Structure formats: C-alpha cells, structure tokens
Structure 1
Amino acid sequence: MKQFFIFTALLFCCGIHVKAQFNSGRFTNMGGGAVNSGNSRMQRDTSKHEHEPDTLTISYKYMGEPTTYRMDSSINDFQTNFLRVPASYTTLGNTGSAAYNTIFTPVLKPGFDPGYHAYDVYMNKHKDAKFYFTTRPYTELQYLVGSKQEQVIGVSHTQNRTERFNFAFDYRKINAPGYYRSQNTSHDFYRLTARYQTKNKRANTYLSFYNNKINGGENGGIRSDTFLHNNSFKQRKTIPTNIGNGASTTFSFFNSTIPTKSTYKETGFLIQQQYDWGHGDTIHVNDTTDYYKYDPVFRVQYTFNIESGNYGFIDSGADTAFYVNHYDFIPGDTVRAQHKFRTLSNDLSLIQFPVRGNLGHFINLGARFESTAGTFLDADINFSNLALHGEYRNKTRNQKWDFSAKGEFYAVGQNIGDYMLSGMLKRHINDLLGDVTISALNVNREPSYVFKYFNSNRDAWYNTSLGKENTTLLTFATNNDKLKYNLTVNYYLFNNYTYFTDYYHSAQFNGLFNLLQVIFSKKFSINYFSWYLDLAFQQRHGDGPVSVPAFWTRNRFAFEKKLYTNLNLSTGIELRYNTGFYAYDYSPLLGQFIYQQNQKITNNIPDIAAFVNFRVKSFTAYIRGENLNTLLATNNYAGPMYPLNNFAFRVGLRWWFVN
C-alpha cells in the first residue's frame, strides 16, 4: 500500500506537469453532442465546469453514422467515464465477471449468432469502433487499484499522421482476484482503427481490428447463504463454493492461473473501401491558403469482414455433486467445452447523396455474402448466407430533423427468412424543449446457436424444435440539455422467445407477451449541490420467461464546485437499488443466464458508495468506498447464491497528454 501511495503521488505530479503544458494553449472541451462538422464549433462539457480553451480539437465518428461526437471529460460518473460499464449492469460479484443488464436488453440482430453474451459489456466490437480526427497527437492513460489486488489499466492513443490519415490504438486490462473462491478475472482487450483519404478526396478507407481475451473464474455460487452470517467466514475466500472450491489459483497481473474458468477469445478484422463520384471545388481561404472541398454524389462501397470466436469452459478439478445435480452427468477429472466459430463476409453497397454537401442524406442499397464455419469437440458445421440490405437516411444540415428507414433480409442460406426493419424520426424542437425521437423496430431471427446445440467432453444435447423469434420494439425518447433530463419509453412485443429452462436445456415460449420500460434520468442542482437521478420502471404483461425488477434506481448526491483556478471537485454518496425479483441464475458450463422462478432476490438496503472525484486540468482521480451497506447488513445478491462483494476501496486515475 505504501508503494501505491508513492506511485499515486508521482502520477499526480505528472498530472500537474501536463496541466502546465495545457495551460500554454487552448483545449477544446470534450462533451458528447453532435456537431455540423468535425471542427465547426466548440462543445460544452457534460460536467458543470468547462476546460479552458486549448488548440487541441478532437472528434470521432462511428462507421456508417454521419453524426460527429466529442470526447467526454466529465468526472461525475465513475461507471461510464472510467469503468465503461453502465450502472444498470449487475455482475456476479467481481469486476470483469459475467454480467447482465437489470434494464432488460434482448438480442435484436438477424443472422447467425453464437449466443455467448455474458461478457459482452466488456467486449470490443466493430459497431463501437471510433474513427478520429485530431489536430494534435492525443494520449490517455488510466489506472485503477482496489481491494483484493484489483487492478485495471488502460492506454489510448490517436493522431493524424497527415491531414488525410489517422490511426488510433486502445488497450485495456482487467485483473481482479475477487472476494470469493475461484472468482479471478483476467481480461485483455485490444483495438486498432485507422482511416485514410486520398488527396483528391474521392477514395476513403476505414480499418477496424479488435481482439478480446476473457479469462473469467467461475465458482457456481456459494454452497449456502448461511456462511454469510457465520463469523467464522468473515474472510469470504474461506466460504465453500460449488465449483473451483479446491482448485489452486495463482495470481499475477499478467499471468494468473485460473483452473475453473470461462475462456472467450474474439477477433475481428474489417476493412471498408469507398470510391466517390461528385463535385470538387477549390476554396480560397487567404493569400497563401487554398482548401479543396469535394462533395460526393454517388459512392461504391466494399466491406470485407472476418470475425472469429472461441468460447470455452474448463474445470480441471470438477466437483461431482454440482455437475450431477445441475447437468446430470458424473464429470470425472476434467469438464471441458469448446465452441469455435468463424464468419467471413463480403459486402457491396451503392450509395447516392441526393443533396450536395450533406453526407447525412443518402440512399444505400447493397448485398452481403456470409460464410460461417463452426468447430466443436465432436463435430463441424459449414453454411452460407446471402443478405440484402437498404437504408434511407436524411439528417438535415440545420440539425433539426433526422429520419432513417432501414431494412435487412436474408434471402438465401441457413438463416433464410431472418430480417430486420426499422424506422426512426428525430426532431430538435428548440433549446428549451430539446429533442424528441420516435422509432420502431421489428426483428425476425433464428435463435442463437447455443440454444440449438451444445456439447462438452461429458455430454451433448440438441434442440431442433425451435422456430424463429420475432421481436417488435416501439420507442419514444426525449432528451433536453437545458433542463438536463432524458426520458425513454420502450414497448417490446415478443413471439417465440427462446430461453434456458435450467442449466443445460433450452425451450421456446410459444406465445405473445410484452414488456414496458420507462427510463428516466435528470440532474437537479441547487447552488453547488447536485442530485443525479437514474430511474427505470419495467412491467411484463403475460407469462413470458423474462424476469425484471419493477423499479431500478441510482441516485448520486454530490457537492460540485470549481475550487481555486484549476480544481474541479465532485464529492458525495451514491445509492443503487432495485425492487425484489426472480434474478437470473447462471450456468457456468454454458456461460448463460438462466430464467428461474424458485428464489426471489430481495435486497433490503441499497448498494451504498461514497466518492471523491476531482480534476486538475488533464489529471482526474476517482476515490471510492463501495458496498458500505455491508457494514450495516449482510451482502446483497446478484442472483441465487451469488452474493456481492464486501466493503471495497478503489482509486482510479485518468490523465491525458497532448503532444
């Protein structure tokens, strides 16, 4: 601990040094709103106080999305700004462990899907890849240390090598031994993006690469909740667990040994090439500077994408009773499962821009050919798909209207008949009333592959009776920057919903049911005191196998003020609570959350945390005491026999450099 405080002091001094460097220039505030173009206007920070201006201007876009975003440097939300995990997610008791969203979010994607989503919240995907433009090289470093040797590090860097070429790199490491036996997590996430534009601005290339490596310790939960009330087990590592109980685990930051674990490896490589026909003009800026502007009218776009996933489980010292009770087989020395998939796709699209100079107004028609191969312990599969897709998008240049209509249909192949249809209309009314959005989505899809087939070295099962799932989502949303609130109302309609009935068998609910969600967030401020309210109401109608709490809420009460010249402070308490419900159980062998109606999880008091967050120019620190509720009562639960952590102390550091 002494070494940690010395290290923290050195980092703080480093942050002060960078502050002095920033003070010599102008730093563009990094908020989250859309802009007309990459550098057209300044953005306001999402925190209460703004940065001083600097010469750095940095923005980014997502692939296929015309909206430009600014980076976020606010300090009031540790979950979003540092952990990158939404506050509504519940883990199985440790940083980096399997997690589900308490605000229910189904899979709404047609086509082939392996079905392993328990660790999705940590993963990199192509849809999340950011393509940057920055006037100067930008580097961000993150470091977190917590109780039980928990550590998280992050490194991000982006720079424009020329005006036409940018690359960005991101690495994140999560390593946490946890409070209970066989709960270690050791994850590595890599991402690389790049974009290139030719001198005449007619050709563009985008590259996205990611690699996710998950090593998630599995313990099957504790054997009895009575251990939590026994003073002999105040040290939670001594509580017997269902699996991994006698395994010998070694811990180090870069080389942990986890005998009982889920192992996921995902890799994706995508390259998109565009060639435009249109109109170019040379704009005279001053006596020495000319700017060449090119407005595309018609575009040919080719996208090559290869994604592979290796999903496995291993228990090298299997506990017989647990496997007999839940999986109906005697495990022997080792239980092992492994499913490998690889999908290669080629997409050709033709895009027209009806209005010159507005890249947010386009018509896109295309086709995609997909080839998928799967390898298991006892079999292989190969199949292909042909999908047709189209989109009409009109985001007006005055930013007041945004309309989108999309469609995707699998015409040939294994997933024939899968489709997605969506429509969205957004209107910016005015600064007082904010934005209003209405949207509709309908998805018809083959159930994820894990519902149809799974095998291990001890057993295998098939379910060939599953039909296609059909899900409809209707959404009304409004957000208001002036009044500082967001409201979203979701209405889901499910047909043929697929789920797991126990640890090893899937089924389909052959009927209709619906789910209503009302999600609201608002910031209330009185002088230097702020109340951040996040609230969700959920109600299922019908007997469908979806379990949700009626209410979920997070409340942050903070004192926020700019002290002296450069110190931005946010300190207070955070409360997170949901009403009782039949929380999902978890099958370690399959890596799936299980619908259950046997044990209702009711946590009597909220999860309580105290925090002190501050920023000095480019240096930000998050200091937190979490799970204070365990000092007053027994641990809360994430699911049946999955208690949450004891009191934890965490320090997170974030700082950035401009070269």
Structure 2
Amino acid sequence: MALLCLGLCGTAAAQGIGGRLGNMTNGGGLANNPFSHRGGEGKDSLSRPHKHVEENITIHYQYLDDVKTYSLDTSINDFYRYIPLKDHDAYLGNLGTPTRSLIYEPSLQPGWDPGFHAFDDYRLTLDRTPFYETTRPYTVLEYLIGAKQEQMIDVFHTQNPRDNFNFGFHYRKINAPGYFRNQNTNDDSYNVFLHYNTRNKRYNLYASFISNKLNTGENGGIRNDSLLTDPDFTDRRTIPTNLGGDDPSPVGFFSTPIATKSAFKETGFLFRQQYDWGKGDTLQINDTTRKYIFNPVFRVEHTLRTGKIAATYSDSISGETPDYYLFKYDLDNLDGGKVLAEHNWTYFSNDLSVMQFPVRGNLAHFLKAGASYETVRGQFLYNSLSFSNILGHFEYHNTTKNRKWELDALGQLYLAGNNFGDYHISGSLSRYLNDKLGDVKVAFGNVNQTPSFVYRFFQSNRFLSLNTDLKKSNTTLLQFIADNQELKYHLAVNYYLLTNYTYFKSFLESGQYSTAFNLLQVLFSKQFTLGHFNWYVDLAYQQTDGAAPLHVPNFWTRNRFTFEGTFFKNLILCTGVELRYNTAYYADDYSPVLQQFVSQRVEKIGNDYPDVGAFIHFRIKTFTAFVRAENLNAFVGRNIIQIPHYPYPDFAFRVGLKWGYIN
C-alpha cells in the first residue's frame, strides 16, 4: 500500500487543518503555514541504545527561500503525516488516484502552468525539497500494507560526511490494485539532494533532482451507485465500470499493464549557488573548542531550473465502452480505435538575485531583488509551440532578533513574454504576544494570472478543446491567523475575492465566470486534554456565492478521540477512533481524458453518516507501528462517495511499520 514519505520530511505544520495554506505561496510569501507552531523550529533529538550508552542525533532541515529551520516530526497521533493524502482530500477511491481538496486551496502563483494538478499530492517537488543537517547518518525505512494488495514503500537517507556537506535521497513507491475494477495505481517517486558550503562560509551550493512516474487506471466510475447495496456485487471488482472493459486488470508490484490509464511523468533539476560578502568571527565554545561563524552583508545568488512534464491518457479498448465517450465527450465513431492524448512540456529558467542583510547576524532580516528568464516548449500529438518569459521579483523579510515580530513583503511581475502582465503581491505582519496569547498574523495578497494552459488548449487524437477567449484571472486574499500553543488551538479566517474564475464546465470544455464573487473560509483546530484522553477537533466553514461554479462543502470536520501516554518507559501509545464528515454539495466530477475535475450542478453529493476508523499507533524508540481499521461505516450503510460515482473502499485493515536507523 504505501510509501510513507511525508513523515520523514517532518512537516512542520500543525495537526489537522494545520498546513492547509502552506502551498499557496513560496517561502516568504502570502500564507506560510497559518497553524505552524513556534516550537516546530530548532532541533530535534533522536537516540538509540549502543553498548549501554545512549547515542544521540541532532537533525534539522530547511527549504529553499524559507528562513525557518524545522525539526523532524516524531509524533504518532495523526496518520495523515505518513501517507501522501491529506485528511481533507477527496479522491477516486484508491491510493494513488487523482485528488482534490474539500477545503478551497487556490494556486496563487503567476506565470506559466501546464494545469495538470490531479496528482499533486503524490509528487516530490523541487520547491519542497528539504535540505538537512545531521550529526549522524540517518536512515528511515517504511512499509505499509493494506487490503487488496495495497502497498507503499518509503526509503529515506541523509548524512553529513563533513560538517559542511550533506546529501540524501528519498524514494517512494505506491502500488494499489484497488477495490473496484480498473483502478490500479503504480507510482514511483525519487528525490536526490545535496548542500555544500565552504569552510569560510562564503559559498553555498544546493542541488536537487526529482522524478515522478505516476500511473493510474481509469474506470470512469461505477455505472450505477445502487449496485453498492446489491447483494450480487459483494465482490466490488465485479461491479461494472464505465471504462476499462469487463475484465479486471492484472496486478503486478513492479509493472502493471493497464489498458485504460492516465500517466503523469516529471523530472526536474535545481542548481543554486550563493556567494556572500561580510565578516567572519570566531566564537569561543569552551576552553579548547572554537567555532567559526560568518555574518553576510551582501549576497549574489544564481538559480537554474530545468525539467520535463508529461501528462498522458491512453485507452486501447475504447470500443468496449462507446456509450461513455458518446455521453461525456460527444464521440460517436470510435470504431474500436485508441483514444490518446499527450501533452509534453520542457522548461528552463535562469534567475539572478542579490540580497542585502541590514543587521549583522540576523539572516532572517533581508532585502532581495532579482530577475528570471525562462523558456518553455510544449509538444503535443500534432503540433508544438515555444515561448519565453522575463520575470522581475523582490522580497523583504524581517524577523526581529527577539522573534516577536515578523514582517514579509513579496512582489513578482512578468515584464515580457507569453505571461506579460501576470503579477503577485503580498504582505504579512505577525506578532508573538506571549506564551498564553500565542501568535497573531494578518496578511494580504493579490494575484493576477494567465489561466493554466490546459484551459486554453487540449489536444487528443479524437477531439480538440480550444478556448481563446479567456482573460487573466484575479484572486485577492485577506487573512487573519491566531496560533496558541498554551490553549492548543489554531484559527485562520480567509476572505477571497475572485474575478474571472476559470474552470471546466464539461468533460472537454473550459469556461470562465466573469462576475466577481467572494468566499469566506474559517478554519479551526483545537486539542482538549483530560489525563490520558484527548479530543482533536478540526473544523472548516466555507461560504460562497451560490451562482458561482466554485463548489465546496459548507461544513467539514474531523474528530479524533484518543487515549495517549508513555508506558513501560519506552512505549509511546496512541489509540482511538477517528470520524470525518462534510455536508452535501455539488461535488466536482472527474474527466479522465483531461485529468481535470469538472464543475457540475446536477447531483449533490453527501453522506448520511461520517467516515469512521479505529486505530492503534505506537512507538518504541525509533520503531513506529500503525494498525488501523478503516471505513467502519461500511457495516451500516453504503460506501462513502465524495466524487460522483467513485465510491471509497469497504472496511479494510492497514498495517504500517517504520524504522529509524542512526548509523
């Protein structure tokens, strides 16, 4: 079932809804994790027994363009830290299939975008590559297995051969045949990274390579939801589906031939160099030890990015399901032939930036300005195109030395090229009040962006989707955040104003809603504790214009009721039940050929009962195990459905193991 990579990266997000806005901007941008804990910064120590002497490891990491330092997350009370799905995701019913968020998460990044984001949750990316520093080599092996031969493997390693050089790699594999016919998934993701700085601390080099090969069978959903309660179809793989034929696909762990499938493939390479001017100094640690430190005043930074992205749909047995293509795509003459779509993109960008650090010794106080030049080439079935862009950007960040105030300002503007006129401006001000009152933050952002390319052009061997009338879309966000560790709550209030909202209005045609509309979003998390008993509650309230094509549930919640504690000195235990529920709404449908979610106003999707699971998680030193009974609601009613005609699995067990090795 599962490659558990997110646990290694040790997301510094808070539990539950925490981290939900973290992907909205790059570091220093509009909405860094609104529920991030101040305690998430700094170092974390792991230990192992060795010849009756306790050996310790100190390990922490940073992301590019992020001033914060994070420690590994070793908590065990939230399973969604260990699989590449979020607690608020809706998906097609199998691990590795396309996902969309039940909590609105807009893309606030201007510029070129191919538009294929259905598999984003499973990708390892250049922007979110962590760069580590560790006192000992550290390896993590994870394995998770579930019903119907679901498996996930995760391997992670990092080490510092020298104190100024770190490298590591991360590999994840997902293979899940699924409960229903023709929904096999077979994913492989890689990330190799390194960081080097010279002894005099003036030169830094960062390099990262990623590769994602994500393959999923497309079944178009089941033909009739009523079959879920038909006693003749207790074996879910016998329920007829809209795509993929009537014969279940063969299953293989390392290679799985799939007749009707989508594929998303990506490779990327990032290379960043920095050279600093400033002043060095020697810090006396003790009578015999000194440490050399360097305080930069001025920095020159060069960043190179290059990569390829390919999104493919292929159905070699389309003649077995002609009614589906006729009804959804208006194709009435398939003749048993193949349906094929291929979009291949290659990009290359160069960025040169300069930075100034006004206050000696405070690297979190800087002014940065630079320019980028990028070239993009798209290759499709019958034609190709290429274009370039010139981008200017600036950033000001100031975290005071007492860490009580934090000011951020960011600007990006496309000065020339295909995306001329795209821009992003944002600013935020946060204040740490005290331990009892916590942190508060206010933020503003505005993004003007060219709609993703897939909205304007999509080509297959059977049809062409073309929309040349799309205008730039504009999104404004006003945000308030409160984060309190003492009272264990996290609150974010987001107000969005959207103009020229772009979406898919059918399985092959995009549209744009020119009328400006707003969306109010309130996200709240809190932990209640009574002895060993805990209640973790996550709530989301969303309200928008009913006429707009953006559809989200008005109310979503997740509740975890747990018994937790440390027993027998080394046993950390967390056991309990978990419930998730959202109100009914016009949930987006899914277009397999386009790999896109489609707005619809025909059928409201809702469930009369919550999605229920029970679990036992425990950790002994660096060994962690998970035993989970999921989808208990299947005993009392129909399968949960979050996307039209794509039911979730039946009752199932998942077992996960994770070993951390200090070498």
TM-score class normalised by the smaller sequence: over 0.9
Aligned to 1:63: 64
Matched residue pairs, number? 620
Aligned to 1:3: none
Contact 2:628 2:654 in 1 (8 A): yes
- Residues of 2 paired with 1:268 and 1:340: CA distance? 14
Change (3 A) 1:198 1:35: farther
Aligned to 2:457: 453
The residue identity in structure 1 corresponding to 2:271 is: I
The answer to whether 1:76 aligns with 2:80 is no
Among 320, 323, 327, the alignment partner of 1:321 is 323
- Residues of 1 paired with 2:38 and 2:395: CA distance? 21
- Residues of 2 paired with 1:604 and 1:304: CA distance? 51
The answer to whether 1:631 aligns with 2:632 is no
The answer to whether 1:572 aligns with 2:542 is no
- Residues of 1 paired with 2:575 and 2:248: CA distance? 41
Shift of 1:565: 1.2
Contact 1:34 1:69 in 2 (8 A): no
Aligned to 2:623: 619
- Residues of 2 paired with 1:504 and 1:165: CA distance? 50
The answer to whether 1:293 aligns with 2:293 is yes
What are the superposed Cα offsets for residues 419-447 of structure 1, whole Å, 9 maximum, x if unpaired?
00010111111111111111111100000
SS at match of 1:93: coil
SS at match of 1:397: coil
- Residues of 2 paired with 1:103 and 1:615: CA distance? 31
Contact 2:175 2:184 in 1 (8 A): yes
Shift of 1:247: 5.0
Contact 1:247 1:317 in 2 (8 A): no
Contact 1:514 1:542 in 2 (8 A): no
Change (3 A) 1:531 1:280: same
Aligned to 1:539: 543
Shift of 1:250: 1.7
- Residues of 1 paired with 2:573 and 2:277: CA distance? 51
Aligned to 1:213: 213
The residue identity in structure 2 corresponding to 1:91 is: Y
- Residues of 2 paired with 1:587 and 1:475: CA distance? 33
SS at match of 1:322: helix
SS at match of 1:324: helix
Aligned to 1:16: none
Contact 2:503 2:510 in 1 (8 A): yes
Compute the RMSD of aligned alpha carbons. Answer: 1.7
What are the superposed Cα offsets for residues 261-305 of structure 1, whole Å, 9 maximum, x if unpaired?
111101110010000000011223334322111100000000000
Contact 2:622 2:659 in 1 (8 A): yes
Aligned to 1:92: 92
Aligned to 2:304: 304
Aligned to 2:653: 649
Aligned to 1:483: 487
Among 497, 501, 505, the alignment partner of 2:505 is 501
Shift of 1:483: 1.1
Contact 1:427 1:435 in 2 (8 A): yes
Shift of 1:554: 0.5
Change (3 A) 1:451 1:32: closer
SS at match of 2:228: helix
Aligned to 1:237: 237
Change (3 A) 1:640 1:308: same
- Residues of 2 paired with 1:340 and 1:586: CA distance? 21
SS at match of 1:148: coil
What are the superposed Cα offsets for residues 447-492 of structure 1, whole Å, 9 maximum, x if unpaired?
0000000011111121000000000111111111111111111111
- Residues of 1 paired with 2:414 and 2:279: CA distance? 36
Aligned to 2:423: 419
Q: Give the 5 Å matches for 1:248-397.
A: 249-318=249-318, 319-329=321-331, 330-331=333-334, 332-397=336-401
The residue identity in structure 1 corresponding to 2:567 is: L
Contact 1:34 1:67 in 2 (8 A): no
- Residues of 1 paired with 2:195 and 2:468: CA distance? 44
Contact 1:517 1:539 in 2 (8 A): yes
Among 582, 589, 607, the alignment partner of 2:586 is 582
Among 407, 410, 416, the alignment partner of 2:414 is 410
Contact 2:63 2:129 in 1 (8 A): yes
- Residues of 2 paired with 1:575 and 1:351: CA distance? 48
The residue identity in structure 1 corresponding to 2:445 is: L
Contact 1:580 1:601 in 2 (8 A): yes
Contact 2:577 2:613 in 1 (8 A): yes
Shift of 1:543: 2.1
Aligned to 2:606: 602
Change (3 A) 1:433 1:54: farther
SS at match of 1:232: helix
SS at match of 1:56: strand
The residue identity in structure 2 corresponding to 1:272 is: R
What are the superposed Cα offsets for residues 159-192 of structure 1, whole Å, 9 maximum, x if unpaired?
1110100012111111100011111111111011
The residue identity in structure 2 corresponding to 1:641 is: H
Shift of 1:315: 0.8
- Residues of 2 paired with 1:314 and 1:150: CA distance? 24
Contact 1:224 1:641 in 2 (8 A): yes
Shift of 1:199: 1.2
- Residues of 1 paired with 2:606 and 2:292: CA distance? 63
- Residues of 1 paired with 2:501 and 2:195: CA distance? 40
Structure 2 portions without partners, runs of 5+: 1-34, 48-52
- Residues of 2 paired with 1:468 and 1:156: CA distance? 41
- Residues of 2 paired with 1:207 and 1:546: CA distance? 39
Contact 2:94 2:179 in 1 (8 A): yes
Change (3 A) 1:53 1:354: farther
Change (3 A) 1:33 1:163: farther
Shift of 1:43: 8.2
Shift of 1:636: 1.5
Aligned to 1:129: 129
The residue identity in structure 1 corresponding to 2:77 is: N
SS at match of 2:57: coil
Q: Give the 5 Å matches for 1:427-466.
A: 427-466=431-470
SS at match of 1:127: coil
Aligned to 1:148: 148
Shift of 1:542: 5.3
SS at match of 1:323: helix
Aligned to 1:563: 567
SS at match of 2:514: strand
Contact 1:35 1:69 in 2 (8 A): no
Contact 1:111 1:418 in 2 (8 A): yes
What are the superposed Cα offsets for residues 223-255 of structure 1, whole Å, 9 maximum, x if unpaired?
111211211001000000000133552211111
The residue identity in structure 2 corresponding to 1:628 is: L
What are the superposed Cα offsets for residues 535-584 of structure 1, whole Å, 9 maximum, x if unpaired?
10000035221001111000010111211111111111100000001111
- Residues of 2 paired with 1:55 and 1:560: CA distance? 25
Contact 1:152 1:173 in 2 (8 A): yes
SS at match of 1:126: coil
- Residues of 2 paired with 1:286 and 1:479: CA distance? 38
The residue identity in structure 2 corresponding to 1:73 is: T
Change (3 A) 1:72 1:113: same
- Residues of 2 paired with 1:601 and 1:418: CA distance? 36
- Residues of 2 paired with 1:71 and 1:427: CA distance? 25
Aligned to 1:9: none
Change (3 A) 1:541 1:440: same
The residue identity in structure 1 corresponding to 2:329 is: Y
Identity value in percent: 50
The residue identity in structure 2 corresponding to 1:75 is: I
Contact 1:32 1:70 in 2 (8 A): no
- Residues of 1 paired with 2:114 and 2:606: CA distance? 33
- Residues of 2 paired with 1:554 and 1:253: CA distance? 33
Aligned to 1:525: 529
- Residues of 2 paired with 1:421 and 1:208: CA distance? 28
The residue identity in structure 2 corresponding to 1:143 is: Y
